[in-house]
Amino acid sequence: MPRNKAVTRDGIDISYEIHRGSGPGRCVLVHSLALDAEFWAGTVPYLIGDADVLVYDCRGHGQSGQPAGAQPVERHADDLADLLDAVGWQSEVVAGASMGGCISLAFARHYPQRVDGLGLFDTTAWYGPDAPKAWEERGQKAMKEGMAALIPFQKSRWVTEAFLASHPQVVEAAIKVFTANRPEIYLETCRMLGAADIRDLPKFDFATRIAVGIEDYATPVAMAEALHALIPGSSLTVFDKARHLTPLESPDRVGAEIKALLDGARARQAKKSS
């Protein structure tokens, strides 16, 4: 389905959609690696009673531009700032999952004045000293064997076997998006995640909520705990019966975490104006 387009400062088209809600809040959601804005289809219905919800395809993904070469996480953060400028949003709740969580965290580091609340799902600020090698190997596998060769590995990490059996259509839709990615773009995004180190953070003045699946093998609970320790005042929730992509597997619980951020942002704004 055609979406709206915004243009970044370096000339890349970003495809986006705004789901108009009935509440006064604003929320932007950032998807996981090699997926697209439809990643949030299960979560959006839980939010539109409280806010307008903006979803978009990150550069190199979906219907957005596919630039060649390195695309560091800071560039993705700038893309989000440019997109928000294009739609006229000055501040909002920002939430992301996995890669989208890294981008959201980088955005919060560089543009804290534009964040009313931060949701970090299945996210780490740093994948560790061996990350560049591990992510390079994953990207090179895609280059040599194609995106489909990664599917058995991805499926085992994305969701639990129980969810795969009960909601096969959700996983199949994600697989269709995943395998449509160009391997050379995927490789560069893997390199971006391998190189990402967002541990040097200012003290945030907004609420931060962190959540992770108890069976997450990609960004395990220990990484979420380290992120929680890195952000004073943040909350940490561990979802039972969930793996890496909690917005796919637990959209209701993810929605509740984001709704709490929206409620908190609204209360802070009312206090400031009283």
Tokens of 266: 């609204």
Element holding 229 (H helix, E strand): helix 221-230
pLDDT at residue 148 in the model: 98
Tokens read off for 94: 């920002």
8 A C-beta contact, residue 203 and residue 232: yes
Residue 54 Cα distances to 17, 40, 113, 250, angstroms: 6, 10, 18, 20
DSSP code for 23: S
Buried b (16+ CB within 10 A) or exposed e, 18-47: bbebebebbbbbbbbbbbbbbbbebbbebb
> Which two structure tokens, joined as six digits, stand for 176?
């269709």
- Which residues pair with residue 25 across a beta bridge? 51
The pLDDT of residue 2 is 58
pLDDT score at 199: 97
For the chain, the domains span 4-126+197-273
Indicate the CATH number for domain 4-126+197-273. Answer: 3.40.50.1820
- Rounded CA separation 21/143 (Å): 41
Of 98, 26, 37, nearest to 62 by C-alpha is 37
Whole-angstrom distance, CA of residue 51 vs CA of residue 45: 10
Per-residue confidence (pLDDT) for residue 109, from 0 to 100: 98
Query: How far apart, in Å, are the Cα atoms of 155 and each of 30, 83, 106, 131, 273?
Result: 20, 31, 27, 21, 48
* Residue 271: per-residue pLDDT: 80
Label residue 162 left, alpha or beta by phi (over 0 means left) and psi (-120 to 50 means alpha).
Answer: alpha
Distance, CA of 142 to CA of 179 (rounded, Å) = 10
The predicted structure's pLDDT at residue 270: 81
SS3 197: strand
Rg (alpha carbons) of the chain, rounded to whole number = 17
Strand (E) or helix (H) holding 14: strand 13-19
CA distance 226 to 199: 10
SS3 242: coil
pLDDT of 201 reads: 96
One pLDDT digit (tens) per residue for the chain, 274 residues: 458 999 999 999 999 999 999 999 999 999 999 999 999 999 999 999 999 999 999 999 999 999 999 999 999 999 999 999 999 999 999 999 999 999 999 999 999 999 999 999 999 999 999 999 999 999 999 999 999 999 999 999 999 999 999 999 999 999 999 999 999 999 999 999 999 999 999 999 999 999 999 999 999 999 999 999 999 999 999 999 999 999 999 999 999 999 999 999 999 888 877 7
